Chains A and B, each alone.
Chain A
């Protein structure tokens, strides 16, 4: 039996339900449907079931793209977390001109991604770039390093740029987390004779865990969907050495004109992301 004011309750949530259906469920449902069709630009879609997914699974280029995306995402998020944590710890301590330093450290996050990518592209240039010219001037290298011309260094380069752009997000989030940890916990630990390392391990890290989880999750999703950095710096090259899901989706959709397959590329890792979100959400709830 519904309570007497249930109708009012449903009325209040109705706008939200409509919004969710319009803005999330419909586009997502359309995307899933498109991924199950053979949809070529300019032609009507034809339902083909899981054909796109099966073909992608067997496609060595796509498998390489998935691997590249995993390397790009895991390496970027891990290093961003470490640097962001160091940034937060430094800013948390009393520091001369703390506000100024905090502002400067936020700059990479503020600069438009395309500008960032172009600037780093020039710095990594083999013949005229700042990095090689500096290394040569210091006598550390005798011939230029093709940073963007070799698979390993090209991947490293796009990861570095993603880290440079993204670590302030971790820093600011973790700083907020640090400031929320009660000072008396540190005092109690100090009274009990805990060293600085022990205080970090048993007070700081547990206190930051929810923030770390949320920040890492958000950053993982954004990094997995990053397009600009790779497109501007390498276009996925050399060859397909830095091709990631976003750039590959663009190539399949807008150059090969195969929209059904392009949507399947972008949906391929959706189950993994959903599982990640559910697991992390549950963990967070349990922590709370």
Chain B
């Protein structure tokens, strides 16, 4: 048992006073504003580090304490949803394509039209394809950061060996795969999964929009999908499995990384993916690099109309430091900082602003040029209409890829699968709330 003496009490009181004094001795530090920033952890660590360094640099310049938290491609929505419901959103955060329309509808995003105007003054005008994702009612609710574009990867050596030209249309993709298989060069040349990831629903949108299909009209209202365009698209998507048999047998069960692994492992000759595959080949200087080419995704009867993954900056309206948050975004999008990030991204991050797009960095080789060009053909979910919360939900709930799976995996006929998908889309549009 410790005896409580007057001396011990005195020492204790002194210690408490010293601790309190230490706290009070740094008033400037105590008052330093704190900004929480949420970032996507991309597949390129160099780019992540560059962005984090820029944020830290801005914090030093402005005497602001910054804290960075990451999410991954898989849990972007999960993290934001939890934060919305618990009122713990950050001050600034990176948003994926569908997020601004959803969060703006919930009244969570600040109007950042002034920031977009400032960035356009220094970096040149925005690409049109970014607008539907960030502009609502004529006002901007997010500032475009970069596109992570989806392209067609081809193995040039396999194509050469089979004597097949690189495909420029969706039909040519199918034909190329059939010919490569028929010539015995590769059993399963086409790595296309209609799975529950962007590699599935993203590519399906590109196919659909290129054929002139859609599930919404130009005003963003539901439009029936029971038509010949959709039938043709679903036939394309399913017959590569059921008729051509040019796709690896378990591709339907691939997760988001399945096609990357198959391509890097030399098991397939074509796949649609973000440039992350090329990053691995370049960074590790793998033997496959000279035989790999990235191409802009093919055209359909209605042209080259593709999907989009646009990363943008949102400032959340719960922030206590709105002006600082906007200043941070301006700083990160300033020409010098944006270029620093771009050069560290190994061709993964494509700018949306004209002057950055003209940077010689993108002329390195035909693959980089293709990555740069791809966003010019991009369209947001719900095309030809605007990106609405309902259109976002159609994509997020895998209606498009479930439609293909019903035919490929469960043997449904196209008509029955379309009817089910049509009902799901109609229900979403009838019940999704929007301010």
Contact = CB atoms under 8 A, between A and B. Distances in A.
25 contacts: A42-B85, A43-B433, A61-B424, A124-B250, A126-B248, A127-B188, A127-B250, A128-B265, A143-B249, A149-B251, A149-B409, A238-B252, A239-B401, A239-B405, A239-B408, A240-B405, A241-B409, A241-B410, A251-B397, A254-B81, A255-B393, A255-B396, A256-B397, A257-B393, A257-B396
Interface in A146-166: 146-151, 154
A239 B250 contact: no
Interface in B228-246: none
Contacts of B188: 127
Interface string B71-82: 000000110010
Given A40-B433, A128-B265, A255-B397, A235 B81 contact: no
Contacts of B106: 41-43
A121 B261 CA distance: 13
A46 to B, nearest CB: 9
Contacts of A234: 253
Nearest to B188: A127
Given A43-B433, A239-B406, A255-B77, A149 B253 contact: yes
Nearest to A126: B250
B255 interface: yes
Contact of A239 (B249, B255, B410): B410
B253 A42 contact: no
Interface residues of B, number: 44
Contact of B393 (A154, A237, A256): A256
B271 interface: no
Contact of A257 (B81, B261, B410): B81
B307 interface: no
Interface string B419-433: 010001000100111
B249 A254 contact: no
Interface residues of A, number: 40
Nearest to B405: A239
Given A41-B84, A255-B77, A257-B102, A149 B397 contact: no
Interface in B81-139: 81, 84-85, 102-103, 105-108
A108 interface: no
B195 interface: yes
Interface string A77-119: 0000000000000000000000000000000000000000000
Given A41-B84, A42-B103, A256-B396, A235 B409 contact: no
